[in-house]
Amino acid sequence: MPTEISADLINQWVGQHLWPLFRLASFMMVIPFIGTQLVPARVRLGLALIITILVVPMIPPVPQVDAFSADGVVITLQQILIGVGMGFALTALFQLFVVAGQMIAMQMGLGFAPWLIRPTA
């Protein structure tokens, strides 16, 4: 027996898939390596779509909110901000290792300096 596709069912599908997509897409646009200009936006969006399709069955049901209502817009903006925040947190984590490596390299370079300098007196 075929099931009827109603407006409520479509609205549920949109809410179930759209908000994780916004969070993942905004995360993918910010993170290092994938978020750079070297990777085209279509590739990043495709990765976000694939990951969304894989992740949606594992998340709990989302609230029944019309995607085009004021509440839906607020939830969408929240998801985008969460994704961007997670991306910036990952970027900060990567930069932590870059700065640590630069500090170690600087200390190693300055540590060898007294051996290379000859006293003038």
Assess whether pLDDT exceeds 70 at residue 4.
Answer: yes
Mean of per-residue pLDDT scores for the chain: 84
User: What are the counts of helices (DSSP H) followed by strands (DSSP E) for the chain?
Assistant: 4, 0
Are 25 and 83 in contact by the 8 Å Cβ rule? The answer is yes
Assess whether pLDDT exceeds 70 at residue 20.
Answer: yes
pTM greater than 0.85 (yes/no): no
Are 62 and 120 in contact by the 8 Å Cβ rule? The answer is no
Residues 6+ apart with CB under 8 A from 35: 28, 29, 44, 87
pLDDT tens for each residue of 34-84: 877 888 889 988 999 999 999 999 988 877 787 778 888 898 899 999 999
Assess whether pLDDT exceeds 90 at residue 25.
Answer: yes
How far apart, in whole angstroms, are the C-alpha atoms of residue 23 and residue 52? 9
Report the sign of the C-alpha dihedral through residues 51, 54, 59, 62, in that order: positive
Q: How confident is the model at residue 119 (pLDDT cuts 50, 70, 90)?
A: low
How far apart, in whole angstroms, are the C-alpha atoms of residue 83 and residue 21? 10
Assess whether pLDDT exceeds 60 at residue 93.
Answer: yes
Assess whether pLDDT exceeds 60 at residue 113.
Answer: no
